[in-house]
Amino acid sequence: MDCYSTDRTISARATLFDLLRRGLWVDRPQLANVEFNKVDSRTWEDIYNFARKHTVEAVVFDALKYLPKDSLPPECLLARWLVQIEQIERRNQLLNSFIASQWRWFLSNNLSPLMLKGQGVAQAYAIPSHRISGDIDWRLDDLSYSTAKKLLELCKQDLTSDGLASLSYIRKGVIVEHHKDVFNLTNPFLKGYLLVLLEQSEAENPMITIGGESIKVLSPLMQIVQVNIHILKHLLAFGVGLRQLCDSARVYHYYRGSYDPGELQRIYKRMGVLSWTHYLHDVLVKHFGLLESDLPYPVPRGIQSEWMIEEIWMSGNFGYHDERYKNGKHSKLSVRPDSFVRVWRSFRQYRKIAPMESIFFILTRLFAKPFHKKK
């Protein structure tokens, strides 16, 4: 038996999913009454470590509030967990203030940004401050993008750029990214279609309050597409963690009734990812507790998505902690070990359910100029 499938690991995994569902849907109180199977202290340690690997420790923590005292983790772990929660909440608070200050900076320079992912998606959570955010992503139109770049260069800001459509920098300890594109699709034949799509939905882009500022985010329809395409992008590369799937489940729930499900289905079809979404939806319902009624269209009968949740489970947050490759070889393709083997494996897994994107993704990976530091 390998280290990934010991009895303790299996128990920890099952319990983690149970807690994740309870924590993700604290706004569905009936889940709190479902019986909980007690686990021992070593299994609790595993649960905590798995939750951290998948950056869902704060969501899982929310489930603990509803457990009876004799089912809780040992006190020393609970205290450690609590410290972690406090840090996550504080970081989110800081991020929100930082986002607000950046928004003011953009506006004062007559730039027109749109916030992508991150704290915008957090609004869809029952407890937004318990979603772990990484960097801050802004979408800027061509003119705003180049103006912002010039302004940052004038401030002697160290920039990292792909030379085309994205740049990133670190400010006050936060990674900020500017993008010209909203979607991470590599299929070049969709470029025009995606632009039209965004233009059409622009009038529906809502403003949400973050750090005291009204900040523009994507329309419900585009937000859902963006979150899910982002997942696909990472599945085609090195994997995603449970947190990204939580994002998907929460936005489907949160925006239910605010978009046209038929239109969403047509968009997925045009993007060539409709088949893949059936697997995604199946995973969301079976493992993340999303109600079938929150899905835009039903999962066709016969969809077997177990292999996909296995991949997600093993790879973790963007594949940084994938135990299967910890002794793999390093190459120029990525900082992650065995990068080519992993991308090829992903290609083989997804080529039938997201064919065009799988092909163009691997081509882009192999032939695109790697990120370089701007002098």
**Contact residues: other proteins, CB under 8 A:** 64-65, 67-72, 78-80, 82-83, 85-87, 89-90
CA–CA gap between residue 169 and residue 175 (Å, rounded): 6
Q: DSSP letter for 332, please.
A: S
Q: How far is the CB of 65 from other proteins (least distance, A)?
A: 6
Helix (H) or strand (E) holding 76: helix 75-108
Measured from the CB atom, the residue of 62 and 357 that comes closer to other proteins is 62
Measured from the CB atom, the residue of 85 and 359 that comes closer to other proteins is 85
Beta strand 136-140 with 113-116: parallel, antiparallel or unpaired?
antiparallel
Beta strand 136-140 with 174-179: parallel, antiparallel or unpaired?
parallel
Measured from the CB atom, the residue of 60 and 225 that comes closer to other proteins is 60
Measured from the CB atom, the residue of 93 and 146 that comes closer to other proteins is 93
Measured from the CB atom, the residue of 80 and 216 that comes closer to other proteins is 80
Question: How many other CB atoms sit within 10 Å of the CB of residue 12?
Answer: 22
Q: How far is the CB of 369 from other proteins (least distance, A)?
A: 40
Measured from the CB atom, the residue of 80 and 345 that comes closer to other proteins is 80
Q: How far is the CB of 211 from other proteins (least distance, A)?
A: 17
Q: How far is the CB of 72 from other proteins (least distance, A)?
A: 5
Task: Please say whether the dihedral angle defined by the alpha carbons of residues 205, 206, 208 and 214, taken in this order, is positive or negative.
Answer: positive
Q: Please provide the size of the chain in residues.
A: 375
Taking alpha carbons only, the member of 138, 135, 133, 136 closest to residue 122 is 133
Q: DSSP letter for 308, please.
A: H
CB 78 within 8 A of CB 42: no
Q: How far is the CB of 372 from other proteins (least distance, A)?
A: 35
Q: DSSP letter for 136, please.
A: E
Q: How far is the CB of 122 from other proteins (least distance, A)?
A: 18
